[in-house]
Chain A
Amino acid sequence: MKNEIITITSKYQDDRHRLMDILIDIHDLYGYVSEADIELLSERLGMSEVEINETITFYHFFSRTPRGQFNIFLNNSITACMRGHDLVKKALEEACGTTFGSVSQDGMFGLYSTSCIGMNDQGPSAIINDKVFTNLTTYRVMKLVADLKSGKSPDEAIYESTGDGNNSDPYVRAMVFNNIRKRMVILDKDHIKFEVVRSLLKGHSPEEIIDIVENSNLRGRGGAGFPTGLKWHFGRRVESEHRVIICNADEGEPGTFKDRVLLTEFPDLVFEGMVIAAYATGADIGLVYLRYEYRYLYKFLNHILDKMRKEGLLGKNIAGIKEFNFDIRIQLGAGAYVCGEESALIESLEGKRGEPRDKPPFPVEKGYLNYPTIVNNVETLATTVRIVKNGADWFKGFGTKDSLGTKLLSVSGDCKFPGIYEVEWGTSIREVIEMSGADDVQAVQVGGPSGVMISVKDIDDLGTTELMKWYKPSGMMVAQKTFDRKLSYSDLPTGGSIMIFNNKRDLLKEVVMNFMDFFIEESCGSCSTCRNLPFIMKQKLQKILDGHGVRKDIDDLLSWGKIIKISRCGLGQTSANPIVSSILNFRYLYEQHVKAMADFDNVFDLEKSVEAANSFVGRKANFHHA
């Protein structure tokens, strides 16, 4: 055992910054990291055991206790729940003979819940030993478990066929479907691969490339919308021995899966975008931070990178440009939503817990290993290729005045055609609903759980409501009468997650509760606000739903929602959004549940709360009355 660990650490030159890779390799070998391993790692890497434990315990896919021979991570997103998640969960527990969060007695199956795995258009879905299984039903689950029990590997147990396009590539072989419903310029199938790097870069200076991107007014497609050209400009400005381009492929916002499709069908476009960014900014180190959930694409993507190296598109003097040296390495994450935040992502890349850094300094000044670092979203990088090829003016022909170009939408929920839609900015919610074949729509969540719920009445007061001053929406739940609102940075900004809910859904009980569970699970725990408030806010919402709520409870929720804004990162700051925005805009849903006349209601039950201690010490309840 000792020798194997040493082999692994040597493979990474005993570099503590590669701890993520080392831990992933150890998991591949043993399924978990034992105390002896940790001791040995601490010796080899020159880190304390505490530091190693810090990293292990942070990530969902790492474990310090043995897991099963087959580990089933079932996704519990809201759209999966709407499509039978609970039944599938029950069937899995029965078939595997264990409950979620534990390993079966024979050590064969480990069952775990996990947040969105980027398969919202084909849920419920699960990851079994890094393979993705989609569209699960109770029948399929039983067959799957029976197959595994009979000795088949997860690969052989893929019960129907592999998916469309590159999902059937020998390097992928996944039963995942792309579900591309609408293509415009980014998803254009007829593009010539690596055309820009091969023939266009030579004729432009790096400054000219940055100018083109700046002129196009391209804004980051991950959700925050920071101007890409400006970011490149900042990154280039700082003097440094090395510069780093990072492709953020940690697509974790529930309901988003566009990056998965881009990486499956257009990996060349994403990597080409990285090469262009490297040329423009003078970067020599390229990293793709690929979320662990997409590990099934790892070999395939590395295969593409190998081809690029052979064709002189990576490595030294790329495309014949002297002194243009750049290469790309893919770093796997290990399951943590917060790592999508760029500074948390960099921490994770350095082998640490994915906790957001204090800013300044910003990553463009001091990022990965303190080098100036530019972190761009998958879709942003793909878009830059089109812009450099066709020019800023061409790009300005799409979209609206302040939101240029096209956007990939990940549409899921109650609709006939869930999947990827490439639309121009300025497309209205109504158009999206029509495209996706949804009817009887009650609400549309734009921008994932961190989004906001907005109803008709409140729209008019948006500017004046005091609450809106501290409230920075990163997405919205849109009610029926406002479906004509348009997707744009000024009206409905979004990273592309669109979830549709019909009139049969209980917005509070199903949707808001599910979103709160997500934030509770994914908080990194650094700020006490984000660590605690979502938990007690959910308890309070449960109290209201149970019929014990009073008006004061609603006011409490709103005032606690303000406090949470002091959290360090966007995840924390938006973690009260499901509750706050639904109160602001769907207040009647809350008022239906609360007691109008009472000013206090506790749920405390004295008899129940003394039971455990009494039975342990062996006495009967005896209530004195003072």
Chain B
Amino acid sequence: MNKKIIATTSLAGCFGCHMSFLDIDERIFDLIELVEFNKSPIDDIKKFTKQVDIGIIEGGCCNSENIEILKAFRENCNILVSLGECAIMGGLPALRNGISIEECLEEAYIGGPTVQENTNKILPNDDELPMLLDKVYPCHEIVKIDYFLPGCAPRADLIWDALIALVTGNEMELPYEVVKFD
């Protein structure tokens, strides 16, 4: 059987979901028998080198780079999974959505109580920097997402079960405890 190919990324996330993924511990040896990694921080491949079966997205979209990467994932992956609260709902970064972007920048770089060094009141505007979006978007508002794995971060067992289900093509068991509201 051909190995399935997996890609992962963290957009506006904290890498907590990736850490949780690593919590599958020694099962990573089993996993590597089943799958091959492509673009991912796990193997540090920066660009897609082939069409991928499963793309796993951590984090929502807060800047133009997130959008580009997410679109590249959609183009290069057959199945996309939103992993964790931030990818699904924007999560902690989306707390800024109730505040205007101008106010956020002002607080972060000019007027905030922890701003001490920025005497010239410079706002980050270098051409090389990604551009900030007006608000933080969940991934499914940008591209079509096929599956959602909720949690902050989703438990390692849940990620494992979901991956195995996707790789083997078997249905995943979702008992009430997993899908209950809170």
The 5 lowest CB-CB distance pairs between A and B, nearest first, are A600-B144, A613-B132, A617-B125, A619-B125, A617-B123
Q: Please, could you name 15 A-B residue pairs with CB atoms under 8 Å apart, sorted by A?
A: A602-B141, A608-B134, A609-B133, A609-B134, A610-B132, A613-B101, A613-B132, A614-B131, A616-B102, A617-B123, A624-B64, A625-B68, A626-B47, A626-B69, A626-B72
Q: Are B102 and A602 in contact (CB under 8 A)?
A: no
Q: Are B65 and A624 in contact (CB under 8 A)?
A: yes
Interface string of B110-144 (1 = CB under 8 A from A): 00000000000001111100011111010001111
Does residue A606 face the partner (Cβ distance < 8 Å to B)? yes
Residue in chain A with minimal CB distance to B103: A616
**Contact residues of A between 586 and 605, Cβ < 8 Å to B:** 599-600, 602, 604
- Which bracket fits the contact residues of B? 20 to 34
Does residue A622 face the partner (Cβ distance < 8 Å to B)? yes
State how many angstroms separate the Cβ of B64 from the closest Cβ of chain A.
Answer: 6
Does residue B45 face the partner (Cβ distance < 8 Å to A)? no
Partner among A600, A606, A618 whose Cβ is within 8 Å of the Cβ of B64? A606
Query: How many angstroms between the C-alpha atoms of A535 and B21 in the bound complex?
Result: 33
Which residues in A have their C-beta under 8 angstroms from that of B172?
Answer: none
Query: How many angstroms between the C-alpha atoms of A530 and B131 in the bound complex?
Result: 34
Does residue A87 face the partner (Cβ distance < 8 Å to B)? no
State how many angstroms separate the Cβ of A311 from the closest Cβ of chain B.
Answer: 56
Query: How many angstroms between the C-alpha atoms of A604 and B131 in the bound complex?
Result: 15
Which residues in A have their C-beta under 8 angstroms from that of B17?
Answer: none
Query: How many angstroms between the C-alpha atoms of A420 and B65 in the bound complex?
Result: 61
Q: Are B143 and A600 in contact (CB under 8 A)?
A: yes
Q: Are B127 and A622 in contact (CB under 8 A)?
A: yes
Does residue A1 face the partner (Cβ distance < 8 Å to B)? no
Partner among A566, A606, A608, A625 whose Cβ is within 8 Å of the Cβ of B181? A566
Does residue A458 face the partner (Cβ distance < 8 Å to B)? no
Q: Are A610 and B137 in contact (CB under 8 A)?
A: no
Interface string of B48-89 (1 = CB under 8 A from A): 000000000000000011011100100000000000000000
Which residues in B have their C-beta under 8 angstroms from that of A431?
Answer: none
B residues touching A (Cβ–Cβ < 8 Å)? 47, 64-65, 67-69, 72, 100-102, 105, 123-127, 131-135, 137, 141-144, 181
Q: Are A563 and B133 in contact (CB under 8 A)?
A: no
Q: Are B68 and A626 in contact (CB under 8 A)?
A: yes
Known A563-B181, A624-B68, A625-B68: A602·B142 in contact at CB below 8 Å: yes
Does residue A612 face the partner (Cβ distance < 8 Å to B)? yes
Does residue A611 face the partner (Cβ distance < 8 Å to B)? yes
Query: How many angstroms between the C-alpha atoms of A10 and B181 in the bound complex?
Result: 47
State how many angstroms separate the Cβ of A336 from the closest Cβ of chain B.
Answer: 22
Query: How many angstroms between the C-alpha atoms of A621 and B63 in the bound complex?
Result: 12
Which residues in B have their C-beta under 8 angstroms from that of A623?
Answer: 64
Partner among A566, A612, A626 whose Cβ is within 8 Å of the Cβ of B134? A612
Query: How many angstroms between the C-alpha atoms of A616 and B109 in the bound complex?
Result: 12
State how many angstroms separate the Cβ of B70 from the closest Cβ of chain A.
Answer: 10
Residue in chain A with minimal CB distance to B145: A600
Q: Are B134 and A611 in contact (CB under 8 A)?
A: yes
State how many angstroms separate the Cβ of B80 from the closest Cβ of chain A.
Answer: 11
Most B CB contacts (10 A, CB to CB) among A604, A616, A618, A621 go to: A616
Residue in chain B with minimal CB distance to A606: B67
Q: Are A616 and B142 in contact (CB under 8 A)?
A: no
Which residues in B have their C-beta under 8 angstroms from that of A566?
Answer: 181
Which residues in B have their C-beta under 8 angstroms from that of A624?
Answer: 64-65, 68
State how many angstroms separate the Cβ of A614 from the closest Cβ of chain B.
Answer: 6
Q: Are A617 and B105 in contact (CB under 8 A)?
A: yes
Which residues in A have their C-beta under 8 angstroms from that of B125?
Answer: 617-619
Which residues in B have their C-beta under 8 angstroms from that of A622?
Answer: 127, 131
Query: How many angstroms between the C-alpha atoms of A263 and B105 in the bound complex?
Result: 55
